[in-house]
Amino acid sequence: MADCVEVIGDSVDELRQSIEELGHISRSNFALTMSDIQTWVSAALTDEDTCMDGFAGKSMNGNVKTMVRKRIVKIAHLTSNALALVNNYASTQSNLP
């Protein structure tokens, strides 16, 4: 469980950093900043998967395991949606003159 808490903390940091960078994006730094943001959001999603993997075969209370897994799945789904939005934004903006 401690490992899961640590990687979810990393995930939160990566998402927070992504949001902060979106506030500083400009035409001159668009490609590099969007690449960084895509990397961080993707890393956050990987962290969430790592947390889920940590529950495989662990002997812990079934109710706790189910509750945590359910929440991590929801967070991962939202993070995946965020990554799709970031990717879409990056591709539409890069095609502008």
Can you give the residue ranges of every domain in the chain? Answer: 2-94
Pick the more confident residue, 21 or 1: 21
- pLDDT at residue 85 greater than cutoff 70: yes
> What are the φ and ψ backbone dihedral angles of 15, each rounded to 5 degrees?
-70, -40
Q: Which residues contact 86 (CB under 8 A, 6 or more apart)?
A: 18, 34, 37, 38, 41
Pick the more confident residue, 3 or 7: 7
DSSP character for 60?
S
Q: What pLDDT, on a 0 to 100 scale, did the predictor assign at position 57?
A: 66
Q: What pLDDT, on a 0 to 100 scale, did the predictor assign at position 59?
A: 64
C-alpha distances in angstroms, 91 versus 19, 52, 54, 71, 79? 18, 30, 34, 30, 18
pTM, 2 dp: 0.85
- Residue-averaged pLDDT of the chain: 88
2 residue type, one letter: A
Q: Tell me the average pLDDT across 64-76.
A: 88
Q: Which of 87, 3, 88, 5 is nearest to 42 (CA)?
A: 87
- pLDDT at residue 3 greater than cutoff 90: no
